[in-house]
Amino acid sequence: MEQIIEKTLEKVRKSNALIDGQYKHGLQEQRILLTILSKIGFTDDLNQKYRIKWSEIMTATKGFTDTCKKIEAVCESLRIKRIRLDRENSIHGFGFVAEYEILRNEQCVDFILSPGMREQLLELLSRGHFTLYNLQCVLSLPSTHSVRMYEILRSRTFMKQPVELDLEKLKWSLDIPTNGVGYKNFSDFRRFILEKAKKNLAKYTDINFSYKALKTGRKVTSLSVKISKNKRWQPTFKSLQSHGQQQNPPKRNFIRPGDIVSIAGEHFEVGPSVLEYKGRSIPIGTLTVMLKNGKIELIDTVQGDT
């Protein structure tokens, strides 16, 4: 009889190669994917099915993914999106989810991971070079870039501090387009990625970080980052359960940098001047017009501003 794993271990395990890979999801996609990963044990079968109840999806996404149609849209996005690992002599590309099945009567979703993902998630004890962290930390984070920054920094907590991060490699891992308008200047990257992540990680996770920009000539080329334990952070069952409650949507009728917007059921974070969407750069002014015309939805606002 086929075994289906439902139990959540409350811990996420990833190889460090996977953490440093290039990929980007909407916030709700990230939360659902990480909930799947929290069910994976060190020695699971390679073709194991993992089951997520709709109630777990509601909890993980703060109630935003609350219909079968929305769940299907997120599952399909997880199936078709790719990750790239930059290895010494090659680039390895693969998907996250090989297949999924939405069971309406049971109100749950069964997932099978792609072969590439299994390699990066299973048998980690024997291979080493992996990171283990608390699921609650990432479910609490309100920004897609903050989730990725947490993973990247969490994987380096064992290193001698401070650690040096190459700026271009960091942007590559965050899947920030090198030829896009957003975050082209370091001042924008610092304001909307680094400072935002610094504040979010200190508020919601078990680590803090500080950083200094390092220059080659007049150009910032790397960061000196000091990662430390966040002594104020404590996991609480109450804070995790609160994610199942639907938030009241913001009332603003214009868009600002850092806002989270929904386009065709997917959630995206607005950059300093544009939103990078499927190869297009949509200016904030255009996003505001789209919001007023009902073509996009404002899901969350920067720093809770309304």
Task: Please state, for a pLDDT cut of 70, what percent of the chain lies above it.
Answer: 84
Residue 236 within a domain: no
Would you give the DSSP letter of residue 22?
Answer: B
CATH number, domain at 42? 1.10.10.10
pTM metric for this prediction:
0.79
- Let me know whether 42 and 89 are in one domain: yes
Taking a C-beta distance cutoff of 8 angstroms, is the pair 163, 227 a contact? yes
CB 147 within 8 A of CB 141: yes
pLDDT digits (tens, 9 = 90+) for 147-184: 999 999 999 998 999 999 999 999 999 988 766 566 77
Closest CA to 205 of 238, 222, 170, 230: 230
195, 229, 263 - which closes a domain: 229
pLDDT digits (tens, 9 = 90+) for 196-205: 999 999 999 9
- Residues 203, 271, single domain; the answer is no
The beta strands (E) that lie in the chain are given as: 4-5, 11-15, 49-53, 82-86, 91-95, 97-103, 108-113, 130-134, 163-166, 207-216, 219-229, 260-263, 266-269, 274-277, 280-283, 297-300
Number of domains in the chain: 3
258 vs 271: CA distance, rounded Å: 6
If asked whether residues 147 and 264 sit together in one domain, one would say no
pLDDT, averaged per 10 consecutive residues of the chain (306 residues), comes to: 61 88 88 89 76 91 86 91 88 92 94 87 66 89 92 93 95 80 82 94 95 95 96 61 47 82 74 79 90 83 51
Tell me which residue range forms the domain holding 291. Answer: 248-304
Let me know whether 258 and 164 are in one domain: no
